[in-house]
Chain A
Amino acid sequence: MREQIVKEIVDRYVSDETFRAGVRADPERAIRNAGFKLDDEERALLKSVDFSQTDEQLSARMSAGWSDPIGTPWD
């Protein structure tokens, strides 16, 4: 797995709303259309990752979300 290609996918995902929507719908296609050429190992890893869930769904998987500032009264 080439670290650089994953870093570039993260960059693109964070900064490009269209790419983000595409990845959630069909990750392999969106990543291919964006010009990333993956080898077999990378494609297998891609298939094992869940891209489909929205932030809200991911956050809701835990009862209290991922993080929550609490108990800081009178600030």
Chain B
Amino acid sequence: MSAPLPSAVDRTGVLASHPAFATLSRPVLESLAGHFAEERYGPGEVIVREGDAGDRLFLVASGSVDVHSADGRRSVFMRSLGPGELFGEMALLEPDGRRNATVTASGPVRVLSLPKAAFAEALQAEGGLRESVLRLREAILRFRFLRLASPFGALEPAMLEALAARMTRSDFKAGETLIRQGDAGDFALLIAEGEVEVVRRDGAEERRLATLGVGAMLGEAAILTGALRNASLRALTDGHAFRIDRDALLELFERDRRIGLQAIQLLRLRERPRQAPNVEAHERRTVEGDTLHILKRKDTGAFFQLSESGWRIWQSLDGEATLREIAIAHMLATRTFAPQLVADTVAALTAAGFVEVQSVTRDVAERLGGRGGGRGGDSALRRIGAVLRRLFVWHWDLGSGDRLIGSLYDRGGHLAYRAAGLAVLAAIVLCGTAAVVVTGPEARAAMERGWSEGWLWLVVPLVYASVALHELGHGLSVKHYRREVLGAGLGCQGPVLFAYVNTSDMWLEGRLPRLVVDASGMVVNMVLAGLAGLALLIVDDPEAAAVLWLFAVVSWQVVLVNLNPVFDLDGYYLLSDWLDRPNLRTKSFRRFLELVRSGELGIARRHPVEIAYSVLSLVYVSAMGVVLYFLYRPLLASWLGDAGPALLAELGALAIALLWYASSSAFLSRSLKLAWRESGRQPAAGL
């Protein structure tokens, strides 16, 4: 059962609640209320139709109505209106007197209607109704313009209203310069009437880039990027534009970050990404038979792989086509609608340095993303974390080393890759290892009898030399495939010192060559262990034999440690190359976090390898801390003997376990952080 209709007194109250009528005196309001008639409409019923002559205005008393305007053959939803809101007044104010929108009841609706003559009479009355209505008209026109003709048309009505309120009108004359090339970009213009040209001056030459009319937005990129104007804007005819200042726009976006990000996405669809210079492209086939396109930046040594779809997008990044045009071209070519993936691909290419596009300034990102200044900068905990990371995770780049390693390969290294060379190496490994096993008891006995410190210290440089040779093995294999060694250096992961060579150039090769490069460092360690074992057969001195035996054992341990696929060791690259999954760790953690966040078991079924890898990695890291604690506690107790309390052994073992957790966490945190960001990513975040 419906509520009773508002009485005349209620009508006065309803009228007074509208800002346009609120300034009228009580007698004028009561007189006006007497002219209002009550009308009822059912769901979907048309109250006013666009194009019809307007004979009255309406005030919604109860229920709600939907307002639509035609744009060509498209009917655009403008907004919904509820109790106390006015519609239909525009036709009573415009010279042609026609409705500019269709209003339908979205459910049972009661409206109060005021005839045109009574409205005209009220406009003449004292109390500022005319001024209020004209302000309302201007706001509606701006709203309508934003909805129908601006890049913000897809935003929610409340945002458009707020945006309309922040725009200022700027009239221009033909020939006037509205934006000057080289100036700071702190506002954007939305052309509401007239025609303008975009011109760029290169030296003495001026070139017209575009002629634009109503609805064109100009200078919005500079608002987001803080860049200087890269072109001038000149009026071709008289007209007017709406000016939106940078601060006003950002303040508005900040009020509702979700909508702010949507607005930025819409603006960024109009960006024109361009391929970066110094990029070369290569092709390779995957194990599944797909063609991958590998991009290489010659100056930075960065690589990026693209599928056929990604490659098509890459080829269209000419600095002329907008992101939106690229997405449409992709849809027409592939019959697949994927604007977000197109945007994500371009964003990933941009982040990796392969595409040039003006990026959003830090302050814009922070204001919308809530990062940085709002949290008071770095916390003490974060600073301590940074110091610990610098202490425990660092590397020292020694330059390319490509020429040196290439020379070593040419001067004999290549022999190891021939059949005879491989046979000799295999024989060394097999015979040497047998010798280590056979002489093991004797060597251990020599060690237990005690040896001089000089012999002991010989093992340390031998191990470090073997680490360098291990890396040389990777480098020689890279040269075997005629690829470039892009870098070499030393580093530290927690308590472990290491050396490395950058073998990224092998991304241009197939799976087998990459596996060979991955494994060749460990092959060097096995050969060194084998050589030490063979030397055991000819060395008489028991202490020297003990050193050789220890070195062989340590070399085999290096091989076993390197087989660990959790950290950035050879085993990880062997596994990811064997599976043909670059960035296996990040991808796996991303899937794992998606699974945890959503609880959707289908993720585990679709990505079993990634889920298994991440679970096993986490189990391994967790379990190893416990293993280290229980392994070192008795060892430390035994070493300390009566010299120290049992608590010291406990604390020592605990410290080792914690050191393990700290170093492995530092190692894995980067992948986890990346994965966390990506697993929680909103659609089109890459825009």
**A56: nearest chain-B partner, CB-CB:** B606
* Interface assignment of B397: CB less than 8 Å from any CB of chain A: yes
The smallest beta-carbon distance between B13 and chain A, in angstroms, is 35
Which residues from chain A contact B306 at a C-beta distance below 8 Å? 66-68
**Is the CB–CB distance between B75 and A37 below 8 Å?**
yes
Q: Label chain B's interface by main secondary structure.
A: mixed
User: Is A14's CB under 8 angstroms from B335's CB?
Assistant: no
Verify B262–A67 contact, CB threshold 8 A.
no
From B68, B287, B337, B502, A50 is in contact (CB under 8 Å) with B337
Asked whether B269 is an interface residue with its Cβ less than 8 Å from the other chain, the reply is yes
In the complex the two chains form, is A13's CB within 8 Å of B507's CB?
no
Residues of B with C-beta under 8 A to A11: 151, 153-154, 266, 269, 324
Q: Which residues of B contact A48 (CB under 8 A)?
A: 335
Q: Does B352 contact A (CB under 8 A)?
A: yes
Residue of B with least CB distance to A20: B683
Q: Which of A67, A71, A72 contacts B307 (CB under 8 A)?
A: A67
Would B305 and A63 count as touching, CB distance under 8 A?
no
Per a CB cutoff under 8 Å, which of B76, B265, B341, B352 touches A55? B341
Residue A5 is within 8 A (CB to CB) of chain B in the complex: yes
Contact between A64 and B582, CB atoms less than 8 A apart: yes
**CB nearest to A50 among chain B residues:** B336
A72 touches B504 (CB 8 A): yes
Taking CB atoms, residues of chain A closer than 8 Å to B309 are: 61-62, 66
Q: Is the interface of A mostly helix, strand, loop or mixed?
A: mixed
Are A15 and B266 in contact, with the CB atoms below 8 A? yes
B265 near A15: Cβ-Cβ < 8 Å: yes
Q: Which residue of B lies closest to A27 (CB)?
A: B337
Q: Is the CB of A16 within 8 A of B341?
A: no
Q: How large is the interface on B (under 10, 10 to 19, 20 to 34, 35 or more residues)?
A: 35 or more
Contact A10 B310 (CB under 8 A): no
Instruction: Indicate if B303 sits at the interface (CB-CB under 8 A).
Output: yes
Across the interface, do B341 and A70 meet the contact criterion of CB distance under 8 Å?
Answer: no
Give every chain A residue within 8 A of B75 (Cβ-Cβ). Answer: 35, 37
Give bound CA distance, A60 to B328, whole Å. 21
Contacts of B341 in A (CB 8 A): 55, 58-59, 66
Please, which residues of chain A bring their CB within 8 A of the CB of B324? 7, 10-11
> Does B574 have its Cβ within 8 Å of any Cβ on chain A?
no
CA distance A15 to B352 in the complex (A): 25
Nearest-Cβ distance from residue A68 to partner chain B, whole angstroms = 5
Say whether B580 faces chain A, with CB atoms less than 8 Å apart: yes
Nearest-Cβ distance from residue A31 to partner chain B, whole angstroms: 10
User: Judging by beta carbons under 8 Å apart, are B339 and A14 in contact?
Assistant: yes
- Closest chain-A Cβ to B203's Cβ sits at a distance in Å of 34
Considering the complex, which residues of chain B in the window 568-603 have a beta carbon less than 8 Å from any beta carbon of chain A? 580-583
Q: Is B83 part of the binding interface, using a Cβ–Cβ cutoff of 8 Å?
A: no
> Given A59-B341, A66-B306, A67-B310 in contact, is the A49-B335 Cβ separation under 8 Å?
yes
Shortest distance between the CB of A9 and any CB in chain B (Å):
9
Contact with B along A16-43 (1 / 0, CB 8 A): 1100100100010000001111010000
Interface residues of B (CB under 8 A from A): 68, 72-77, 151, 153-155, 262-263, 265-266, 269, 286-288, 290, 292, 294, 300-310, 313, 324, 327-328, 331, 335-341, 343-345, 348-349, 351-352, 395, 397, 487, 489, 500, 502, 504-505, 507, 580-583, 606, 683-684, 687
Q: CB within 8 Å of B: which residues of A?
A: 2-8, 10-17, 20, 23, 27, 34-37, 39, 48-51, 53, 55, 58-75
Taking A35-B74, A63-B580, A64-B580 as given, write out 17 further A-B residue pairs in contact, using a Cβ cutoff of 8 Å, ordered by the A residue number: A7-B328, A11-B269, A14-B265, A14-B683, A34-B77, A48-B335, A63-B286, A66-B306, A66-B345, A67-B306, A67-B348, A69-B348, A70-B504, A71-B504, A71-B582, A72-B302, A75-B302
Which 9 residue pairs across A and B have the least CB separation, nearest first? A71-B504, A71-B303, A62-B307, A69-B352, A66-B310, A70-B582, A35-B75, A15-B262, A72-B302
